[in-house]
Amino acid sequence: MKTFGTILVSAAFLLFWLGDETTDAFDKNDLQRLKTTNNCPSCDLRAANLNWADLREANLAHADLRKAQLFMANLRGASLTGANLAYANLAGARLVDAVVSEINFKGTNLRSINMKKLNLQGIDFRGAVLVGTNFSNADLSNTDLRGAWLYHANLEEADLNGADLSTSKVWYHQITKAISCNTKSRFWDVINSGCVGM
């Protein structure tokens, strides 16, 4: 009886998992549209395999790219305004000159990406993997970095004003290189070293 119960629970879990995978499926027409036109605003590209893809100057504004695979993808100059990249894999991708305002990077793998000088103001980075990411001179003001992994990230001259790093994994010497005012940190309370007039 116990074995039957275990099988039943396992079968129910498998059905749930398969159902969840189905909901993560991308629209094949949208993927083909991206590949042929490089223009796919508001497209459904959930969990699409775009590893090593050349997406220079692509229009992906407001596209749904949750769990998409974009390893080493070239997104130089791409429009990603309002795109949802939660839990996507962008490790090693190129985002130089990309427009990333209002993007969702929650739980995203952005390991070793060059985000130098990008406007990232107010973006959700909760739980993101940002190990070795270059944020030098980037605008990270009012970003949510709770739970993010920032070890070895370059924060030199990055604007962290109003950012929340209260549960992020980061070393203090990294934060000291940034511009911080009303910046919430994990072990050092609120950092105001970069406030004008203080």
The structure tokens listed for 8 are: 């039943």
Residue type, 20: D
Q: Compute the distance between CA of residue 102 and CA of residue 144 in angstroms, rounded to an integer.
A: 12
| Amino acid 193: pLDDT | 86
| Amino acid 172: pLDDT | 87
DSSP assignment of 63-109 equals -B-TT-B-TT-B-TT-B-TT-B-TT-B-TT-B-TT-B-TT-B-TT-B
Q: What is the mean pLDDT of residues 50-71?
A: 98
pLDDT in tens, 67-87: 999 999 999 999 999 999 999
| Amino acid 2: pLDDT | 46
pTM over 0.75: yes
Q: Which of 34, 31, 78, 35 is nearest to 58 (CA)?
A: 78
Q: What is the mean pLDDT of residues 114-123?
A: 96
| Amino acid 24: pLDDT | 62
Q: Distances from the Cα of 124 to the Cαs of 6, 15, 25, 112, in angstroms?
A: 39, 31, 23, 18
Q: What is the mean pLDDT of residues 143-152?
A: 97
Rounded to 5 degrees, φ, ψ at 149 are -95, 110
pLDDT in tens, 98-110: 999 999 999 999 9
Residues 6+ apart with CB under 8 A from 121: 101, 139, 140, 141, 142, 143
